[in-house]
């Protein structure tokens, strides 16, 4: 199934690269002016589902742009065909394809693909995490003050900031640096391979996290909600780290919201 996911991600990446810099239609989703969708999102999603469904016609799908199919199957594919649509719509070449796989409600595999750099991140339960076939592990940074973190801003930030500014400021004062890339799937992949030491964000969807969660876990990291509970896809609060700085991040998140 990993091989099928990789094939689907590569084909979706080709679609995205074909449209990059030449997006003709940009729509606003759910009445949120920051939540965009393009024709490339939809075409990429269609291609992914076509490839996977051709091999596994009985599987279920949960996809961001409406390609959701619920069947009586133990397997469900969770798909973000273009994670980083705002970047993409502006011609910024920083985005990804994310494909996660659930078996009986448990995440068991994930693929995150950056078509611009041709970096393919893959992981499956018990099998480790890989970048272009080479095993990856999280960083060994044990102190928050020496950590490089990454975060994202939710689409509904203007209506529901949820202490985002306070938390950002607190981390800014306690970490070595913070970046904001615009693709949660890449953020998780970069934590998994040690480029970042930790990641936090609020108001994320299952397709933002499914593949990245498996990557971080299989690379030796830790994921949770803001309370430290094991993360679930139906909980929009998300913390991922190398594990060593995780409790320190939770303390920052707790006190900054008080």
Domains detected in the chain: 2-136 (3.30.540.10), 144-256 (3.40.190.80)
* Lowest mean pLDDT across 90-104, 148-162, 170-184, 227-241: 148-162
Do β-strands 148-151 and 198-201 pair in parallel, antiparallel, or remain unpaired?
parallel
Q: What's residue 22's pLDDT?
A: 79
Residue 132 has pLDDT above 70, yes or no: yes
Write out pLDDT tens, residues 166-220.
899 999 999 999 999 999 999 999 999 999 999 999 888 999 999 999 999 999 9
**What are residue 37's phi and psi, to 5 degrees?**
-145, 140
Strands (E) in the chain, as ranges, are 26-28, 36-38, 60-63, 75-83, 96-103, 106-114, 119-124, 128-131, 134-136, 148-151, 177-179, 198-201, 222-224, 238-241
Residue 73 has pLDDT above 80, yes or no: yes
Q: What percent of the chain has pLDDT over 70?
A: 91
Rg, Å, the chain Cα set: 17
Residues 223-236, mean pLDDT to the nearest whole number: 91
* Lowest mean pLDDT across 52-66, 145-159, 168-182: 145-159
How many of the other CB atoms lie within 10 Å of CB of 10?
Answer: 16
């Amino acid at each position: 199934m990993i091989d099928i996911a990789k094939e689907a991600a590569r084909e979706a990446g080709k679609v995205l690269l074909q449209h990059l810099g030449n997006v003709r239609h940009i729509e606003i989703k759910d009445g949120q002016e920051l939540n965009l969708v393009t024709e490339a999102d939809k075409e990429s999603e269609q291609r992914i589902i076509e490839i996977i469904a051709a091999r596994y016609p009985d599987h279920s799908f949960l996809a961001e742009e409406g390609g959701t199919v619920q069947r009586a199957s133990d397997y469900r594919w969770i798909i973000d065909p273009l994670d980083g649509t705002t970047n993409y719509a502006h011609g910024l070449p920083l985005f990804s394809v994310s494909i996660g796989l659930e078996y009986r409600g448990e995440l068991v595999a994930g693929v995150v693909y950056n078509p611009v750099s041709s970096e393919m991140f893959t992981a499956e339960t018990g099998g480790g995490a890989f970048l272009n076939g080479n095993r990856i592990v999280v960083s060994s940074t044990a102190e928050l003050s020496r950590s490089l973190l990454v975060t994202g801003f939710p689409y509904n930030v203007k209506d529901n900031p949820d202490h985002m500014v306070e938390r950002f400021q607190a981390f800014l004062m306690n970490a070595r640096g913070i970046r904001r890339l615009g693709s949660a799937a890449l953020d998780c992949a970069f934590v998994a391979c040690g480029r970042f030491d930790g990641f936090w964000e609020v108001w994320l969807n299952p397709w933002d996290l499914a593949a990245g969660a498996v990557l971080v876990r299989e690379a030796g990291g830790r994921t949770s909600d803001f309370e430290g509970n094991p993360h679930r896809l139906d909980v929009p609060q998300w913390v991922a780290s190398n594990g060593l700085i995780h409790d320190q991040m939770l303390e920052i998140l707790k006190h900054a919201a008080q």
